[in-house]
């Protein structure tokens, strides 16, 4: 397994606002797809910072014509980014794996960690990025033994109900776009009410996502 670490900055609907409102985010794109020359990037972002700044960030994000289908749950937002120009997600290859979610700092820089069994997949990704992005820094590319990914590492810190809620949401496609299930169906599977399930899931997300950035700080 090969691991690529890189730092980059571009015209990003998230990075621009992180720099403007001085907050950070942790997130990642899902199944990026292209239709009629437009790239659609469904993604999840969890915002960290002052609550007032976070609310202003989200209000401003909703006004962006490149954003659609935005849903908010606490400090986490789901949305689709539509672009006709090239962004990092445009070059994402299904043979790449996210070692960690992408972390965006208060200067608008994105921190990526990707893995692949084939080193050439990573180098091709880098070369494609360099064609469209000037501010890019390769922090390292090395061969590793993959012992863990971020969800297994953090799940033991959750309560049993929180762990069950997040595992169920992932396995049933709640975080896919379009969503494959609903909170109501997931709650029914856990045999609890929707408000109770939503609370378990929210607390699990609050514990998992912020901690993913610890090694970047």
pLDDT tens-digit series, residues 104-144: 999 999 999 999 989 999 999 999 999 888 899 999 999 98
Question: Is 168 in the same domain as 128?
Answer: no
Q: How far apart are CA 20 and CA 52, in angstroms?
A: 13
24, 112, 110: which is closest to 75 by C-alpha?
24
* Three-state secondary structure call for residue 27: strand
Which helix (H) or strand (E) segment holds residue 119: the answer is helix 119-132
Contact 29, 41 (CB under 8 A): yes
Contact 46, 26 (CB under 8 A): yes
Share of the chain above pLDDT 90, in %: 43
**Tokens (6 digits) for 216:** 């970047």
* Among candidate residues 117, 145, 173, the one where a domain is terminated: 145
Total number of domains in the chain:
2
**Tokens (6 digits) for 134:** 């000037």
pLDDT tens by residue, 138-177: 999 999 886 555 444 444 467 878 878 887 887 788 887 7
Q: How far apart are CA 21 and CA 37, in angstroms?
A: 31
User: For residue 172, what are the domain limits?
Assistant: 150-215
Contact 162, 170 (CB under 8 A): no
Question: Is 86 in the same domain as 193?
Answer: no
Helical pair 160-171 and 194-211, crossing angle rounded to 10 deg: 90
Residues 6+ apart with CB under 8 A from 131: 86
In total, the chain counts a number of residues equal to: 217
Contact 76, 45 (CB under 8 A): yes
Question: Is 104 in the same domain as 179?
Answer: no
Question: Is 97 in the same domain as 183?
Answer: no
Q: What is the mean pLDDT of residues 47-60?
A: 90
Residue corresponding to tokens 């399930």: 197
pLDDT tens by residue, 77-107: 999 999 888 778 778 777 888 888 899 999 9
Question: Is 199 in the same domain as 159?
Answer: yes
């Amino acid at each position: 397994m090969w691991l690529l670490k890189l730092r980059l900055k571009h015209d990003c609907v998230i990075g621009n606002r992180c720099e403007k409102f001085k907050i950070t985010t942790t997130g990642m794109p899902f199944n990026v797809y292209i239709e009629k020359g437009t790239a659609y990037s469904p993604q999840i972002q969890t915002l960290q910072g002052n609550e007032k700044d976070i609310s202003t960030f989200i209000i401003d994000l909703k006004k962006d014509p490149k954003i659609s289908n935005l849903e908010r749950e606490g400090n986490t937002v789901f949305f689709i980014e539509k672009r006709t120009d090239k962004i990092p997600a445009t070059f994402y290859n299904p043979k790449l794996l996210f070692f960690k979610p992408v972390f965006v700092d208060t200067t608008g820089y994105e921190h990526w960690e990707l893995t692949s069994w084939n080193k050439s997949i990573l180098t091709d990704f880098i070369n494609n990025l360099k064609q469209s992005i000037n501010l890019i820094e390769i922090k390292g590319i090395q061969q590793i033994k993959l012992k863990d990914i971020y969800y297994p590492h953090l799940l033991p810190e959750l309560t049993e109900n929180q762990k069950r809620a997040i595992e169920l949401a992932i396995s049933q496609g709640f975080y896919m776009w379009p969503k494959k299930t609903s909170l109501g169906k997931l709650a029914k599977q856990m045999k609890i009410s929707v408000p109770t399930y939503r609370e378990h899931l929210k607390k699990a997300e609050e514990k998992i996502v912020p901690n993913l950035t610890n090694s970047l700080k």
